[in-house]
Structure 1
Amino acid sequence: MEWVGLALLLAVGAGILLTGLPAFVVLVMAASVGTAIGLASGVFSLALLGALPGRLINLFESDLLQALPLYVTMGLLLDRLPVADALYRASMAILPRRPSSPMVSGMLLGALLGPMNGSVGASVLGLARVVAPRLAAEGVPAARREALVAVASTLGVLVPPSLVLILLSDALLNAHTFAVTQTGRSDRVVNTQDVFHAALLPAGLFLVLCLALAWFGGRGATSLPRREKLTRGQGLLAGFSLLALLLLLGGVATGYFYAVEAAAVGAFALLTAGIVTGRLRGPAMRSLLRDAMAVTGALFSLLLAATTFTLILRLLGTDRLVGNLVSSIPGGDIPVTAVVLAVIGLCAFVLDAFEIIFVILPIVLPPLLVRVADVRWVAVLVLLTLQSSFLLPPFGYALMMVRGALKPAAPFRPFVRALAPFLLAQWLLLALVLLLPRLVHTLDKDTDITRAPTQAVSKEEIDKRLNDMIALPPAEPEPSSGRR
């Protein structure tokens, strides 16, 4: 019955791609089919399903999930308030008057707002509303506009402290705990800050490459961009917004405060600004809250459905099958990691980042981390793979979102040619991190980054070591209780 679970996974991908139903609906349907097959074949009993309520309750006890509705609210506020427009105008006023300045400004805006938007889809919509029309007004070809919006919208996948990194950290924590338990290694289980620190240098390198490509890509334009004139109010808004964003992003990425705290402060500040300026009163406020609840509800529904589905897969034995397949891959850390990354990349053609984190990673990461001890390295490689897959023609998630949001869409071949330099930079960085794991350990606070002994320690050995450490003194004779 182990292969039934893999068939259900393929059915989930096909259902999401072909039916247009929400992912959580498809997952619940697949879980129901798997439950019926398992009960009918006697693989598991109805009593084992009693573990599901406890799993769901433990799920909502995670502190990291508090950040989810806050990030969603921040993304919606950034779309409704003139923050993005003010930041773009300010960057155009600061940069030299060159043909490539609009593209550089668009890329910088994506790097600033991407981690706060919470998802690739939200970043695409925001950049399509703010950046794309201005690039068109400056005479940037449609293919280059679409390529820039697509690449900039995926920066939030890699740049800390995005919602994707937070949820990936939670998945890694569970998978790493399983791996440590199975192998008996003495590793310290990774946390969110470890993943943030590991992603900082690769994210910075990719951002520098993207800015350089945007700068050189716009040098062929014949006309100079118009000089932006900022009003006093726009300048103050841009300066305050930039300072707040840098403080929040930098504070979380460097560990001065938690992502939940940063999300709460950011959402409160934006909400207060919207109320004070009169942009969030009456119908606008009701629309904001309604949309925030709808998106948050959809994400939590996806999380609940994915938890149910992965439980059914475990009851069917699919996790053991995947573990055996991963353990049978020949070679060391790099070959086995490359194979798992290829599987994740294929899934990214059909699933978005949240669906991959909730459904695919809980299945493939535990057996991978049993063989590969460097969890930070695996985390950054997964992020780079997701980002690259979202940009890979013809079915990359970000590409389809951009070509749907920007009408009329550019011809496909010029679009791919405009995207090619960014893809090459992405693959170059992925290869560098794959071959040079030290790139993700530049900010490590501990030195435990290598493989610990993998031989499990038996209970008898643990008892013996404890007895050796705690040498009990010899027993003294009890004093006589008789009277002299």
Structure 2
Amino acid sequence: MEWFLAHATVNEIAVLAMFLMFIWMLFRGIPVAMALVGVSLVFILISQIALDPYRSVFRDVIAFDRVGLEYQRLLALSGRLFGSIVKNPVLVALPMFIFMGLMLDQSGVAQRMMHSMQKLFGGLRGGLSLTVLLIGIILAASTGVIGASVTLLGVMALPAMMAQNYSKPIATGTIASAGTLGILIPPSIMLVIMSDQLAISLGDLFMGALFPGLILGALYIVFIVIYGFVSPKSMPAPERVEAIHWAEVRDVLLAVIPPLFLILLVLGSIFAGIATPTEASGLGAAGATLLAALNGKLNYKVLKEVSRSTLNTSGYIVGIFLAANFFAFVLRRYGGDEIIELMVGNAFDEPYMTVLFILFIVFLLGFLLDWIEITIIIMPLMLPIIIGLNLDIPGFDQVRDPSVVWFAILVAVTLQTSFLTPPVGFALFYLKGVCPPGVTLGHIYRGIIPFVILQLIGLFIVFEFPALTTWLPSVAYAD
């Protein structure tokens, strides 16, 4: 740190100070949007004092280069924020997908799947864990709301797993990891935000994330099967096992068909080119509402709660959008984007090592920040670096910006870990809130360790085989 302060320019020190002040305010419990705006206002004030002609001595001591935070620029910023964020048609999909996920959680579909799959797989060693993972994959492809998925799986599955003497770490780790798959498997609200921040096609991101998300789910399932044989006491089979009849298989099919229909309605319409992601989000919201009505769960109270939760979540995200853009504007006036581009882009001569370095930074930030802050603040700063690397993602010319799509999916897989890594892993706290007595945060922390390792293995697979993210979009655009 002393070497940096001795050799850095005043602008570089100011950029570092902005990030450190932001993190300090977060640890003080200040809301994210307020922290971003507060830091920005402080450094606007500093720039005005330093450039005040009546304080020439102070100006000479703090000699900022090209800050340019004049009143006229700040006045014009409000119009830019309104035009680029509030009126952005891509972000219309955000509240619709949130509404779809929350309404599906209220529809009773997940409870029906859990009940029927427990009868089918409950007699197997690790059968309840497999049930949780399969339901987690289906919910991920039809909801994308992490808090609701983790809470729902915890309420439904954890008591049954405890009653069957499952190891507390493996039970809680399975539920927490299965619930977070929705942030990667489309339709994902994180991909909607990435599409806006990176200015790339949301359809490309949805198609590009499908195989990596399924691979991650498959890694979880393989791990549970192997772990069940290696440590049978951790996931014991029930003492009394009833024979499986065709009635149980039929019940599972009837329970799975409605969410699969919703997935086909949303993702199928996008992949087939019938609807844009924004239009498909409306179809998904209507489809989830229809499922709730068919299951007898739709009433005024449910509709009011889902609508209010959608408004709260959407408002929270849009508020961070506006604050982060304000923060980014001030940061750029200090030359922050150029400083970060030089520091990160020139760290390695090998382009792919630079990509790994960025992913390592994102992984570390996941311990401290939520995925929303990382996506909105960090991704636009890294975009020029990725474009400047001129990465060669061969064989799929039909995909627009294939290197950016590949990079976005890599970051999305990396951000899976942010939900499971303390101290800010939100999935851990969602799950702890519904755990029965006797299940501690220590059990949850131990339980997520193998799944974080599996997420890193999945990240390595996607890094080594970029075609996993670009093949499906290339097929869709082949004609």
Identify the TM-score tier after normalising by the shorter chain.
0.7 to 0.9
Q: Is the 8 A contact 1:114 1:153 kept in 2?
A: yes
How far does residue 32 in structure 1 lie from its aligned partner after superposition? 1.6
2:87 pairs with 1:69: no
2:44 pairs with 1:35: yes
Which residues of structure 2 form unaligned runs of 5+? 1-10, 52-66, 392-402
User: Tell me, what secondary structure is at the counterpart of 2:125?
Assistant: coil
User: Tell me, what secondary structure is at the counterpart of 1:97?
Assistant: coil
Q: Greater shift after overlay, 140-149 or 235-244?
A: 235-244
Q: Is the 8 A contact 1:138 1:226 kept in 2?
A: no
Q: Which amino acid aligns with 2:44?
A: T
Q: Is the 8 A contact 1:348 1:389 kept in 2?
A: yes
How far does residue 247 in structure 1 lie from its aligned partner after superposition? 4.0
Q: Is the 8 A contact 2:130 2:224 kept in 1?
A: yes
How far does residue 17 in structure 1 lie from its aligned partner after superposition? 2.9
Counterparts of 1:270-281 in structure 2, within 5 Å, are: 270-275=288-293, 278-281=296-299
Counterparts of 1:52-63 in structure 2, within 5 Å, are: 52-56=77-81, 57-63=83-89
The residue aligned with 2:207 is 197
Q: Is the 8 A contact 2:128 2:161 kept in 1?
A: yes
How far does residue 135 in structure 1 lie from its aligned partner after superposition? 2.4
User: Tell me, what secondary structure is at the counterpart of 2:330?
Assistant: helix
Structure 1 counterpart of 2:359, from 341, 358, 362:
341
Q: Is the 8 A contact 2:144 2:189 kept in 1?
A: yes
Q: Greater shift after overlay, 307-316 or 371-380?
A: 371-380
Aligned mates of 1:435, 1:303 — CA distance in 2: 32
Distance 1:257 1:100, change over 3 A: farther
Counterparts of 1:70-469 in structure 2, within 5 Å, are: 70-95=96-121, 97-173=123-199, 190-219=200-229, 220=232, 221-224=235-238, 236=254, 238-252=256-270, 255-275=273-293, 278-373=296-391, 374-392=403-421, 395-408=424-437, 410=439, 415-445=444-474
How far does residue 84 in structure 1 lie from its aligned partner after superposition? 1.0
How far does residue 248 in structure 1 lie from its aligned partner after superposition? 2.6
Deviation sequence 1:274-304 (CA, Å, 0-9, x none): 3565533343333332222222211211111
How far does residue 263 in structure 1 lie from its aligned partner after superposition? 2.0
How far does residue 115 in structure 1 lie from its aligned partner after superposition? 4.2
Aligned mates of 1:201, 1:278 — CA distance in 2: 34
Report the TM-score when normalising by structure 1. Answer: 0.80
The residue aligned with 2:400 is none
Aligned mates of 1:84, 1:405 — CA distance in 2: 17
Structure 1 counterpart of 2:17, from 7, 10, 34:
7
Deviation sequence 1:172-208 (CA, Å, 0-9, x none): 22xxxxxxxxxxxxxxxx4222223332322222211
Q: Which amino acid aligns with 2:349?
A: G
Deviation sequence 1:215-262 (CA, Å, 0-9, x none): 333451333287698799997554323332344344435655332223
Deviation sequence 1:339-360 (CA, Å, 0-9, x none): 1112212221222222211122
Q: Is the 8 A contact 1:90 1:238 kept in 2?
A: no
| Number of equivalences | 431
Q: Which amino acid aligns with 2:236?
A: T
How far does residue 411 in structure 1 lie from its aligned partner after superposition? 5.3
Q: Which amino acid aligns with 1:48?
A: R
The residue aligned with 1:463 is none
Q: Greater shift after overlay, 397-406 or 77-86?
A: 397-406
Q: Is the 8 A contact 1:35 1:312 kept in 2?
A: yes
Distance 1:367 1:238, change over 3 A: closer
How far does residue 169 in structure 1 lie from its aligned partner after superposition? 2.0
Distance 1:441 1:197, change over 3 A: same
Q: Greater shift after overlay, 251-260 or 418-427?
A: 251-260
How far does residue 318 in structure 1 lie from its aligned partner after superposition? 1.0
The alignment-based identity, stated in percent, is 28
The residue aligned with 2:72 is 47
Q: Which amino acid aligns with 1:54?
A: G
User: Tell me, what secondary structure is at the counterpart of 2:474?
Assistant: coil
How far does residue 122 in structure 1 lie from its aligned partner after superposition? 2.9
Q: Which amino acid aligns with 2:21?
A: A
Q: Greater shift after overlay, 90-99 or 379-388?
A: 90-99
Distance 1:117 1:9, change over 3 A: farther
Aligned mates of 2:338, 2:152 — CA distance in 1: 42
Q: Greater shift after overlay, 244-253 or 53-62?
A: 244-253
Aligned alpha-carbon RMSD (Å): 3.0
How far does residue 434 in structure 1 lie from its aligned partner after superposition? 2.5
The residue aligned with 2:7 is none
How far does residue 306 in structure 1 lie from its aligned partner after superposition? 1.3
Aligned mates of 2:252, 2:467 — CA distance in 1: 43
Q: Is the 8 A contact 2:159 2:436 kept in 1?
A: no
Larger Rg: 1
Q: Which amino acid aligns with 2:325?
A: T
Q: Greater shift after overlay, 279-288 or 3-12?
A: 279-288
